[in-house]
Amino acid sequence: MFSNPEQNILKLGLREGMRVADLGAGTGAYSIAASKRVGHTGHVYAIEVQKELVKKLESEIKDLKISNIECIWGDIERKHGTKIADGSMDVVIISNVLFQAEDKLGLIDEARRILKKGGRVLLVDWVESFGGFGPSRMDVVSEDVASDLFTKRGFKLLEKITTSEHHYGIIFIHE
């Protein structure tokens, strides 16, 4: 039913030494998957607005002895809310977050701010509402609307990827 972070991460071509920001990291599934791909010389920033999820993820990565993930309590919808330097990330991951964002353009602008030129965004979100699973109908952001939001903010659609029957996936590049 749900999207597989490890399979979706493969589509990004992550390599040893890359820097990745997971915006709205939640329980850290994408952060952990990315940390394996970027290796010991790479770094993953797991940014989450809910303090209890930050603490839970910090505890989990300590238990798993993962040393290349940094958890940050921050606001991904506000300029500089991620606390990450301008143009410093190779990849940004936004999974199951766009539908929740009150300021979708603020989220996209923050992703653009922290990405290097040529950096990529992996966007994964819900195809529709499933009566109890996923967002309400009103909150669903269709694939077409998501594409428009990103392209109007300076991104180019690079590839649509298969994620799961309930999610779509799009990789954008920051030009």
Per-residue pLDDT band for 145 (boundaries 50, 70, 90) equals very high
Residues 97-142 pLDDT 10s: 999 999 999 999 999 999 999 999 999 998 876 666 777 788 888 9
Residue 156 CB: number of other CB atoms within 10 A? 11
Q: Which domain holds residue 24?
A: 5-174
Collapse the DSSP code of 38 into the 3-class scheme (helix H, G, I; strand E, B; otherwise coil) and give the result: helix
Condensed to tens digits (0 to 9), the pLDDT of residues 21-64 reads 999 999 999 999 999 999 999 999 999 999 999 999 999 999 99
| CATH label of the domain that carries residue 72 | 3.40.50.150
Count: domains in the chain: 1
Q: Is 164 helix (H, G, I), strand (E, B) or coil?
A: strand
